[in-house]
Amino acid sequence: GENVEQHPSTLSVQEGDSAVIKCTYSDSASNYFPWYKQELGKRPQLIIDIRSNVGEKKDQRIAVTLNKTAKHFSLHITETQPEDSAVYFCAASMEYGQNFVFGPGTRLSVLP
């Protein structure tokens, strides 16, 4: 079955710096890759996603890149702010959301 690895497990950056979180997946049939942000005590919220027919997607300060050949995808956050501090989860799934597998998460701390 699908296996998703995520690195680093913890990440501390200074406010205003960029943060990058990387994920790898094992099943070449996976074609949907979302990223979720979970603030302390709250539910995971979708922040951005990408499908396999796209190499990069941006939404203001966040972007996701996908390399299908290497089976890895990354989340990029620019100009980090304290409110970006949270746990970020990547995930991979097949068409129609089958075999939805999450990575173990990355705890991001943005230091003022």
Contact footprint for other proteins (CB under 8 A): 32, 34, 36, 42-46, 49, 89, 93, 95-105
Q: Which residue, 9 or 81, is less far from other proteins as judged by CB?
A: 9
Q: Which residue, 2 or 78, is less far from other proteins as judged by CB?
A: 2
Residue type, 19: A
d(C-alpha 54, C-alpha 41), whole Å: 33
Q: Which residue, 44 or 74, is less far from other proteins as judged by CB?
A: 44
CB 66 within 8 A of CB 54: yes
- CB-CB neighbours of 44 under 10 Å: 18
Give the nearest distance from C-beta 32 to other proteins in angstroms: 4
- CB-CB neighbours of 55 under 10 Å: 12
Give the nearest distance from C-beta 31 to other proteins in angstroms: 9
